[in-house]
Amino acid sequence: SSNKEVIYFRNKIRLELLPLLSKDYNKNIKDITLRLRNIVSEVSAYLEQETEFFFKKVAKRENLEKVIIDLKKFTSLHPALKRRIIRKSIKVVKGDLYSISFKHNSEILKLTEYQLGEKEIYLPDDLRVNKIYNKIIIYKKRISKNQIDEIPATWEYNILIPGKTEIKSLNIEVEIKILDSADIKPSLYLKRKKSKREFIDYSKVKLPFKLRNRRSGDKFCPLKMKGFKKVKDFFIDNKIPKSHRDLIPLLVDGEDKIIWIVGMRLDNRVKVDSNTKKVLSVKIKVKNTFSQENFE
């Protein structure tokens, strides 16, 4: 039987070390070891229960392919819980913990304390851990039709006015209607939150419209702010990850004036006011997961 072969580490402990300790140090070593094992088992069961509870509080799963940890909630936890939540997150994404060591866990813990904007580390089996501002994202590198690499670095599309424009490569649909200002409740355009719909003064823009991503030097005049702001600085202030910035749609008019950073901020120059007669209602349906995050 393999239980009697001392070539196995567990057997060397049981057959050689424990008898030696019992003889030369403490004859009750077996009872002490058994009690210790029971205590460790109870503590481990308790920590596992706590891990499940706090995992639901600080982490979010996305189709078993990605786990996002909220660092604002995570940082206040005990280090023992932090390590276990990291292990659980990896297991959710990877399916197991093979090839994942204590050192890897420590690297992720260190990453959670990284103070600058973004940083990424690579783990075995194509696992990636990305620190983006107040989030840790654990995911496995996969190829999919919605992945960033498949979207051109620079893109722009003509938009129908009025009408619907479907942009299949971005999984975006744009619908624009021309309305009388009297038919719109002021509460709709005065409620300035992140939204998939925006209202624009028709007289303050030039046709045609295009939907494009950012360009070097882009500026706009954010609603409720004085003067211009670089789009790059706006993204930084709003903690938009670098990897997402080229995917956020910008609605521009015929003079390439930025009208709306979709889902984030309207340009102050095109807002509806008491003198507005005709209004453009712009509604965006976004299925692209990177852009969708800006509406949440």
Burial class (CB in 10 A: 0-12, 13-18, 19+), 200: buried
- What's the CATH fold of domain 9-140? Chorismate Mutase Domain, subunit A (1.20.59)
Closest alpha carbon to 148 in 265, 248, 41: 248
Domain boundaries, the chain: 9-140, 148-295
What pLDDT is attached to residue 296?
47
Indicate the residue type of 158. Answer: N
Closest alpha carbon to 119 in 202, 243, 17: 243
CB atoms within 10 A of CB 90: 23
When pLDDT is averaged across residues 82-104 and rounded to a whole number, the result is 93
When pLDDT is averaged across residues 206-213 and rounded to a whole number, the result is 94
Residue 192 pLDDT level (bands cut at 50, 70, 90): low
What pLDDT is attached to residue 286?
74
Nearby residues of 40 by Cβ (< 8 Å), 6 or more positions away? none
Q: What is the pLDDT of residues 136-164, one digit of tens each?
A: 999 987 544 344 445 567 889 999 999 99
When pLDDT is averaged across residues 175-199 and rounded to a whole number, the result is 81
What pLDDT is attached to residue 78?
94
Helix (H), strand (E) at residue 100: none
Q: pLDDT at residue 22 above 90?
A: no
Q: In the structure encoding, which two tokens stand for residue 36, read together?
A: 């210790």
Q: Using CA atoms, how far apart are residues 284 and 265, in angstroms rounded to an integer?
A: 14
What pLDDT is attached to residue 20?
80
Q: How many helices (H) and strands (E) does the chain have?
A: 10, 16
Q: pLDDT at residue 293 above 60?
A: no
Residue 172 pLDDT level (bands cut at 50, 70, 90): confident
Q: What is the pLDDT of residues 193-203, one digit of tens each?
A: 667 899 999 99
What pLDDT is attached to residue 149?
46
CB atoms within 10 A of CB 48: 12
Instruction: HSE, CB side, 13 Å, CA atoms: give it for residue 119.
Output: 12
What pLDDT is attached to residue 118?
78
Closest alpha carbon to 70 in 84, 85, 80: 85
What pLDDT is attached to residue 186?
77
Residue 6 pLDDT level (bands cut at 50, 70, 90): low
Write down the H helix ranges in the chain: 9-12, 18-24, 29-58, 71-74, 79-94, 102-112, 186-190, 231-237, 242-245, 289-292
When pLDDT is averaged across residues 233-244 and rounded to a whole number, the result is 87
Nearby residues of 122 by Cβ (< 8 Å), 6 or more positions away? 128, 129
What pLDDT is attached to residue 28?
82
Percent over 90 (pLDDT), the chain: 50
> Has this prediction a pTM greater than 0.85?
no
Percent over 70 (pLDDT), the chain: 86
Q: Please state the CATH superfamily assignment of the domain spanning residues 148-295 in this structure.
A: Phenylalanyl-trna Synthetase, Chain B, domain 3 (3.50.40.10)
